[in-house]
Chains A and B, each alone.
Chain A
């Protein structure tokens, strides 16, 4: 592949270069830089497209289809601080939490999530967390993978965040119908922590409980 072909293909899809494009980028510094610029550009484009949707859009769609009755949404416990380790009971280690087990299995079956590098804007994580009524107290790392996956009968955002303690996978269930309490699951050398959010729930999966808790401690209900 030559540089012209590479750039033509990258312009069409900078987010998922094929094997040949990746091989060319390994060898050609100028094209590697070109790919990086295109990814930055796409990240900015993605960010610019994120107009806020109307509040309660999904609920209104479901009400209109007769799939949900109108209801008052319970006020969120806005003042509660979420899941800081010192404020919580020390995690109950459990191998029996189905959501944690499925999350770990999902991570094990998607190794490409750790090798793929998506161009994700810096404000993406705070924005998606805010959709669940959660703020991120400090910079926890760069999001390098972001997609939507089916998991445990629901659809979750699947993110990988590079932290100082290693990569941590986040599954964000914005609309988890099940009330959750904090659970910790250890399996196959990985730890999953599921925590309730103001809206839905969040499952963190990491190679160590310390890495998962480092993220957990930086999250706050708003």
Chain B
């Protein structure tokens, strides 16, 4: 039986307890399947434990966990060849919903309609608290590209949600 130093083990346990729920929520919003999200959460922490380094600081650690989770999700879809709906164009989705006055989507439905390339960085920022730089690193992208996706994601959500008090623009404003 392999014995681990108590501090290594204890710290991992602390991290599992701190972040398991957030990792699960992130995975749930990627796949929208509770059972799969739980399986992927297990896989995420299995990989994290296998590569555990005590010296990782707390902030980097969270970004690292979410990157593992993201990779696990991607790997599962590659492995199982799940039939995925082809990724729709963001502008088409927005125009389809925005032109229909009956469309009053709630936030969850609107979020589910966002193409994955926009939803994923938004989830990492809002749920994971990751910075644009951290998201860029996990996506092998640039900070500017991530910021553009985040902006477009929020704008698309607001457009899809329509004329709710929350998203209504202030009247008569002069921009400088």
Which residue from chain A places its CB closest to the CB of B49 in the assembled complex? A65
- Expressed in whole angstroms, the minimum distance between the Cβ of A133 and any Cβ of chain B is 15
Which residues 35-49 in A have Cβ within 8 Å of B in the complex? Answer: 37-38, 40-42, 44-46, 48-49
Given the contacts A58-B17, A62-B13, A41 and B45 also touching, CB distance less than 8 Å:
no
Number of interface residues of B (CB under 8 A): 53
- Expressed in whole angstroms, the minimum distance between the Cβ of B31 and any Cβ of chain A is 12
Q: Mark each residue of chain A from 184 to 208: 1 if its CB lies under 8 Å from any CB of chain B, else 0.
A: 0000000000000000000000000
- B166 to chain A: which residues have CB within 8 Å? 37, 40-41, 44
Give Cα distance in the complex from A54 to B41, angstroms. 11
A-B contact count (CB 8 A): 126
Give Cα distance in the complex from A153 to B107, angstroms. 37
- B155 to chain A: which residues have CB within 8 Å? 11
Residue in contact with A41 in the complex, picked from B28, B38, B154, CB distance below 8 Å: B154
Question: Which residues does A use to contact B, with CB under 8 Å?
Answer: 2-4, 8-9, 11-15, 28, 30, 33-34, 37-38, 40-42, 44-46, 48-51, 53-54, 57-58, 60-62, 64-65, 67-68, 147-150, 153-155, 174-175
Q: Which 10 A-B pairs have the closest CB atoms?
A: A155-B18, A30-B173, A12-B147, A3-B175, A11-B151, A175-B17, A48-B107, A53-B21, A58-B20, A12-B150
